[in-house]
Amino acid sequence: MNTKNNLQKILKDLNSIEKELSLLRGISALLNWDKDVNMPKKAFEQRADQETLISVQIHELLTSKKLVSIIKTLSQKSIYSKLSDLDKAKVDLYNWKLKKQLKVPKAHIEEYTKVLSITHNAWVNARTKESYAEFMPYLKKVFDLKKKEAKYIDAKAHPYNVFLDDYERGITIKDIDQIFLKLKSDILEILANIKKSQNYNKINDVKPESFGIYSKELQLELSKELSKKILVDTNRYMIAETIHPFMTTISSDDIRITTAVRSDPFFSFGSIVHESGHALYELNFDSKILDTILVSDGSLSLALHESQSRFWENIVCKSESFWKGYYSYYASKFPFLQKISLKQFYESINIAMPTLVRIESDELTYGLHVIIRYEIEKGIFDGTIKVEDLEIVWNAKYKEYLGIVPSKPSKGVLQDSHWSGGNIGYFPTYILGSMYSVMIYNAMKKENPKLDLDIEKLDFNFIRTWLKEHIHQYGASKTSKEIILAACGKNLDVTEFTAYLKKKYYKIYCVKE
Amino acid sequence: MNTKNNLQKILKDLNSIEKELSLLRGISALLNWDKDVNMPKKAFEQRADQETLISVQIHELLTSKKLVSIIKTLSQKSIYSKLSDLDKAKVDLYNWKLKKQLKVPKAHIEEYTKVLSITHNAWVNARTKESYAEFMPYLKKVFDLKKKEAKYIDAKAHPYNVFLDDYERGITIKDIDQIFLKLKSDILEILANIKKSQNYNKINDVKPESFGIYSKELQLELSKELSKKILVDTNRYMIAETIHPFMTTISSDDIRITTAVRSDPFFSFGSIVHESGHALYELNFDSKILDTILVSDGSLSLALHESQSRFWENIVCKSESFWKGYYSYYASKFPFLQKISLKQFYESINIAMPTLVRIESDELTYGLHVIIRYEIEKGIFDGTIKVEDLEIVWNAKYKEYLGIVPSKPSKGVLQDSHWSGGNIGYFPTYILGSMYSVMIYNAMKKENPKLDLDIEKLDFNFIRTWLKEHIHQYGASKTSKEIILAACGKNLDVTEFTAYLKKKYYKIYCVKE
């Protein structure tokens, strides 16, 4: 066999491993989705066993000698140079993953897994008891193990950089510090200005649910209708109800969105649109990268993924243009809205004000919630913040940035599940996503000056095509940085985001710039 | 290590293989259930790949050297004699399965699998075209391969016995011939007598859907309510909608029932109760046999399983006692029933008359449908019937036994999917189930003379307890023959069944015995 045939054989072997991994990941996603949507309660433990079985298979395949050896071979300069761009991107991603996986001793992984397996429960219990002190020892252990892990992976790097890179390949403290400095000061400035506005209290007192009772069935019907306008092909996705909305991929033609209906009509509406944004991304990958590491969960940029959900939820469906075109139809479905003006309704779903809980916060203040978490994580890694003091630090930061203090830990330091799940370094991707979404909108608008009219008409053809061409098709075959640079003509620019916030909220609250 | 420790080690290894098999079977069941309930249409191929991946894992584990060697060791007389009764039952079952699996050459299995993979589609297409001729060559191939397979497994046995044994361990042509002889003549006699009755046309003209339109929501609500009375613990099962109702087991605390709602109100009602009967069986296995071969799909007696669904559907929910207690409540939900008497409603859901389609037939004529299929399968195996002539044979038998002839193959020889799926030898278990269900009812009644009053009161406590104690707990740790003998004090007795039919239908049609 000659070298070329050999290479073909190796690539074929890689394909078949990747196909199996893709199938297993889909099965794992189904087990998890079904747990939230359908599973009878008492099956909890047996489902955990089923999920573990598949997870172990995925892990074993990902760390198998065969795969490691394939990647080692393909990484040899003489071979790597002959690969297609897509294959190069694959090899890069595997090396990025394997570097971490192969450097951390098995004993450490086992200890960490064991600790995590009890930490989530500890967090749930501590929340119920409203006691950070109860959760603290568990969280300390998690951070201690993370510090150790960082040393194994790169003893010279700032430990936080090691984990930021887990969620957004290549990003560092240096990048984020710079971005967040500007972000924080701009948000605080905008917030201070709208607070001074005469309309601030008047607008912020009127929530959309105060207008009447939005029937559950109609809420769902309208949300699904809108979702179909975004996703188009109903034979490739489905929508179910869960307590917490999410999106998951069972296979490339089987995307599941979940939602929940609340008295606030924008909850299901916004969450379905949000998850549809994630779904459209996953539905639009180029067929050449399906069933490979280039579309797998841990490879895709979380920030870019989030930019898609936030684009549809915030930029499209919370915009004036959208409601200008949609409101009369929407109000015809809920008769009590007949006496509510478009302006009033639009304002009611765009209230901006300091609140305690990140996931309930608005577009403007959301960034502050993320910045607080980022500062805390960074502080713990560089030793300036102690896990023991976290509740005090948390409350002080909320007081400083948002002017409010949690009355209890469940509304404060114990509100997020991320830390108890070991997801440290994750938070920044949320707000990076928001920033990307504004840049994407601006880039689109440059190309199509009638973009707002499209949105008003609920005509999403241009948007859908643009997103597929500039963002979606690539999956993880390019980094988010490369994709944004090519799509928007520049790197992440925080000022585009804060200019958007200024324009939007100054108009709502009648603040002169 | 001494021998005792060695044995413990072997049994532990067996447990861990069985646990993995059980998890994989549950995952496989979920993939299949989800396909019918939730999956977006275009995901069909990818789902097939996911299902194949898990099937292959199950097959490889079941035929693994490790398992085969464990069973060989445990089968050694000196070791087998020391095993607990449950472990003996396990070893027996594995030997029963392995005997077949190890005797058939791999090449044959591959050819058979390949043939089956296209046969179902061929059947679907032939049905659409209403052409038996189109399906015939495929069916011939299936039967030819089955004949070959039978020779591999047991060259001396009647080939049909080999496959009857697949679905009902130990049963033979000799047993069934004897049972069906009596069954056929009794059914034909009862049918002839009720046909002569003055009421025959009057009763058979009034179907329950002729009384009014039963709302879909209410039908489902009432069916689910009743299902809860049978299954009690709603945290261990759930009900969804599919085109064809079925029951499947994801894990021992996660049983899924599906149903469909039609204009005939007894369709969803009856099918949920039917599947609840299957479900209760699976929910009641003794905890000692969970996650073993003793509760697995291919081990449980299909006839006994079917006896459970038919017990609840026919013996309980199509009985006079049940409707005596339930009808006023039921009629209060569907106001148009206020003017329909209990007697008339009861008769409308118990119409007996020759029909063409097995799954739409009544308790009385159902047996004839099964007998026809049995005679055909047997005839093909012993050479007295040619696959080429099947449509003619089919129509002639329907003419002879039921007095009617299919107008088209989809209502005749092409109506069932069993043959296209290779499930040959399966049909007899349906009617064996009906016979068992009557024997079970009679045995229960001996112990509790107030049984009918219980049913009238919808008080299922005694029934539930009796079924668990005498039938359910054992799973496949005993054969159906052993279980029925212990529970009913005798072997399968066809006269109990035909006496039940006589009593029921002579009363409805006012025929004097």
Examine the domain organization and report whether A258 and A111 are in the same domain. no
**Amino acid, res. B283:** L
- Give the residue on A whose Cα is nearest the Cα of B49: A23
Tokens 């009629």, residue located = B331
What pLDDT, on a 0 to 100 scale, did the predictor assign at position B298?
86
Distance, in angstroms, between A29 CA and closest chain B CA? 11
Whether B43 has its CB under 8 Å from any CB of chain A: the answer is yes
Give the bridge partners for A238, in sequence order.
A256
What pLDDT, on a 0 to 100 scale, did the predictor assign at position A257?
97
Asked if residue A56 belongs to a domain, the reply is: yes
Tell me if ipTM is over 0.90.
yes
Distance, in angstroms, between A181 CA and closest chain B CA? 45
Examine the domain organization and report whether A213 and A88 are in the same domain. no
pLDDT mean over A384-410: 97
- Give the residue on B whose Cα is nearest the Cα of A38: B238
pLDDT, tens digit, 9 for 90 and up, residues B10-48: 999 999 999 999 999 999 999 999 999 999 999 999 999
pLDDT mean over A453-469: 98
What pLDDT, on a 0 to 100 scale, did the predictor assign at position B106?
86
Contact A50 B26 (CB under 8 A): yes
Tokens 């015809």, residue located = A332
The H or E element spanning position A254 is: strand A254-259
Q: Is the pLDDT of residue B245 over 60?
A: yes
Contact B46 A236 (CB under 8 A): no
What pLDDT, on a 0 to 100 scale, did the predictor assign at position A2?
64
Residue A386 backbone class (left: φ over 0; alpha: ψ -120 to 50; beta: rest): beta
Examine the domain organization and report whether A104 and A187 are in the same domain. no
Contact A254 B41 (CB under 8 A): no
Kindly report the length of chain B: 513
Whether A16 has its CB under 8 Å from any CB of chain B: the answer is no
pLDDT mean over B149-156: 94
Mean residue pLDDT of chain A comes to 96
Whether B250 has its CB under 8 Å from any CB of chain A: the answer is yes
Q: Is the pLDDT of residue B1 over 60?
A: no
pLDDT bucket at A324, cuts 50 / 70 / 90: very high
Contact A23 B253 (CB under 8 A): no
Whether B38 has its CB under 8 Å from any CB of chain A: the answer is yes
pLDDT, tens digit, 9 for 90 and up, residues A421-446: 999 999 999 999 999 999 999 999 99
Q: Which of A27, A36, A232, A276 to mutate to test the interface with B (most CBs of B within 10 A)?
A: A27
Between the CA of residue B207 and those of A477, B183, B262, B266, what are the distances in Å?
63, 27, 13, 10
Share of chain B above pLDDT 70, in %: 100
What pLDDT, on a 0 to 100 scale, did the predictor assign at position A318?
98
Share of chain A above pLDDT 70, in %: 100
Contact B253 A43 (CB under 8 A): yes
What pLDDT, on a 0 to 100 scale, did the predictor assign at position A99?
85
pLDDT mean over B448-465: 98
What pLDDT, on a 0 to 100 scale, did the predictor assign at position B100?
84
Q: Which residues of B are catalytic?
A: 275
Asked if residue A479 belongs to a domain, the reply is: yes
Q: Is the pLDDT of residue A230 over 80?
A: yes
| Cβ contacts of A40 on chain B, cutoff 8 Å | 234-238, 253-255
Whether A453 has its CB under 8 Å from any CB of chain B: the answer is no
Whether A48 has its CB under 8 Å from any CB of chain B: the answer is no
Asked if residue A165 belongs to a domain, the reply is: no
Examine the domain organization and report whether A179 and A100 are in the same domain. no
Whether B388 has its CB under 8 Å from any CB of chain A: the answer is no
pLDDT mean over B60-86: 96
| Cβ contacts of B60 on chain A, cutoff 8 Å | none
Asked if residue B118 belongs to a domain, the reply is: no
Examine the domain organization and report whether A228 and A321 are in the same domain. yes
| Cβ contacts of A27 on chain B, cutoff 8 Å | 27, 31, 50, 53-54
pLDDT, tens digit, 9 for 90 and up, residues B122-141: 999 999 999 999 999 999 99
Whether A34 has its CB under 8 Å from any CB of chain B: the answer is yes
φ, ψ at A246 (rounded to 5°): -155, 170
Whether B233 has its CB under 8 Å from any CB of chain A: the answer is yes
Whether A56 has its CB under 8 Å from any CB of chain B: the answer is no
Give the bridge partners for B237, in sequence order.
B255
What span, in angstroms and rounded, lies between the C-alpha atoms of A419 and A136?
11
Whether A254 has its CB under 8 Å from any CB of chain B: the answer is yes
pLDDT mean over B190-208: 95
Give the bridge partners for A255, in sequence order.
A237, A249
| Cβ contacts of A50 on chain B, cutoff 8 Å | 23, 26-27, 251
Tokens of B270: 């009856």
Of the candidate ranges A113-117, A133-137, A379-383, the one whose mean pLDDT is the lowest: A113-117
Of B358, B366, B394, B361, residue with least CA distance to B379:
B394
Contact A47 B251 (CB under 8 A): yes
* Catalytic hit among A149, A275, A347, A377: A275
- Give the residue on A whose Cα is nearest the Cα of B291: A46
Whether B51 has its CB under 8 Å from any CB of chain A: the answer is no
Contact B238 A42 (CB under 8 A): no
CATH of the domain at A198: 1.10.1370.30
Q: Which of A21, A33, A36, A250 to mutate to test the interface with B (most CBs of B within 10 A)?
A: A250
What pLDDT, on a 0 to 100 scale, did the predictor assign at position B3?
72
Tokens of A256: 């599941």
Nearest-CB residue to B254 (from A46, A236, A256): A46
What span, in angstroms and rounded, lies between the C-alpha atoms of B426 and B163?
8
What pLDDT, on a 0 to 100 scale, did the predictor assign at position A480?
96
Tokens 């069941």, residue located = B29
Of B313, B314, B312, B300, residue with least CA distance to B480:
B300
Domain containing A482 equals 173-508
| Cβ contacts of A19 on chain B, cutoff 8 Å | 49
Contact B31 A31 (CB under 8 A): no
Examine the domain organization and report whether A353 and A477 are in the same domain. yes
Asked if residue B339 belongs to a domain, the reply is: yes
Of the candidate ranges A161-175, A226-240, A373-387, B104-118, the one whose mean pLDDT is the lowest: B104-118
pLDDT bucket at B2, cuts 50 / 70 / 90: low
pLDDT, tens digit, 9 for 90 and up, residues A77-127: 999 999 999 999 999 999 999 888 888 998 998 899 889 889 989 999 999
Distance, in angstroms, between A67 CA and closest chain B CA? 19
pLDDT mean over B53-73: 94
pLDDT, tens digit, 9 for 90 and up, residues B325-362: 999 999 999 999 999 999 999 999 999 999 999 999 99
Nearest-CB residue to B40 (from A20, A27, A254): A254
Tokens of A10: 């190796």
Whole-prediction pTM: 0.94
Of A133, A153, A157, residue with least CA distance to A145:
A153
Contact B50 A234 (CB under 8 A): no
Whether B157 has its CB under 8 Å from any CB of chain A: the answer is no
Answer yes or no: are the C-beta atoms of B428 and B492 closer than 8 Å. Answer: no
Q: Which residues contact B467 (CB under 8 A, 6 or more apart)?
A: B280, B281, B284, B308, B311, B440
Contact B235 A40 (CB under 8 A): yes
Examine the domain organization and report whether A312 and A185 are in the same domain. yes
pLDDT mean over A328-352: 97
Distance, in angstroms, between A278 CA and closest chain B CA? 17
Buried b or exposed e, range A189-208, using 16+ CB within 10 angstroms: ebbebbbebeebeebbeeeb
Nearest-CB residue to B40 (from A31, A53, A253): A253
Examine the domain organization and report whether A323 and A394 are in the same domain. yes
pLDDT mean over B451-471: 98
Of the candidate ranges A98-112, A283-297, B157-171, B348-362, the one whose mean pLDDT is the lowest: A98-112
- Torsion sign across C-alpha atoms A507, A508, A511, A513: negative
What pLDDT, on a 0 to 100 scale, did the predictor assign at position A298?
86
Asked if residue B450 belongs to a domain, the reply is: yes
Examine the domain organization and report whether A126 and A211 are in the same domain. no
Residue B252 DSSP symbol: T
Q: Which of B37, B251, B276 to mutate to test the interface with A (most CBs of A within 10 A)?
A: B251
Q: Which residues contact A376 (CB under 8 A, 6 or more apart)?
A: A385, A390, A393, A394, A397
- Give the residue on B whose Cα is nearest the Cα of A52: B23
Distance, in angstroms, between B328 CA and closest chain A CA? 31
Asked if residue B29 belongs to a domain, the reply is: no
Burial of residue A338 (CB within 10 Å: 0-12, 13-18, 19+) is exposed
Q: How many CB pairs under 8 A join A and B?
A: 99
Contact A236 B43 (CB under 8 A): yes
Contact B40 A240 (CB under 8 A): no
Q: Is the pLDDT of residue B419 over 90?
A: yes
Whether B407 has its CB under 8 Å from any CB of chain A: the answer is no
Asked if residue B105 belongs to a domain, the reply is: no
Q: Is the pLDDT of residue B221 over 80?
A: yes
Examine the domain organization and report whether A100 and A189 are in the same domain. no
Share of chain A above pLDDT 90, in %: 94
Contact A252 B23 (CB under 8 A): no
Between the CA of residue A181 and those of A368, A430, A439, A496, B436, what are the distances in Å?
11, 16, 19, 15, 77
Q: Is the pLDDT of residue A69 over 60?
A: yes
Examine the domain organization and report whether A204 and A68 are in the same domain. no
Distance, in angstroms, between A36 CA and closest chain B CA? 13
Whether A228 has its CB under 8 Å from any CB of chain B: the answer is no
What pLDDT, on a 0 to 100 scale, did the predictor assign at position A256?
98
What pLDDT, on a 0 to 100 scale, did the predictor assign at position B295?
96
Domain count, chain A: 2
DSSP string, B163-219: HHHHHSTT--HHHHHHHHHHHHHHHHHHHHHHHHSTTHHHHHT--GGGG----HHHH
Q: Is the pLDDT of residue A36 over 60?
A: yes
Q: Is the pLDDT of residue B400 over 80?
A: yes
Whether B41 has its CB under 8 Å from any CB of chain A: the answer is yes
pLDDT mean over A187-214: 96
| Cβ contacts of A255 on chain B, cutoff 8 Å | 40
Whether A40 has its CB under 8 Å from any CB of chain B: the answer is yes
The H or E element spanning position B259 is: strand B254-259
Q: Which residues contact B419 (CB under 8 A, 6 or more apart)?
A: B123, B139, B142
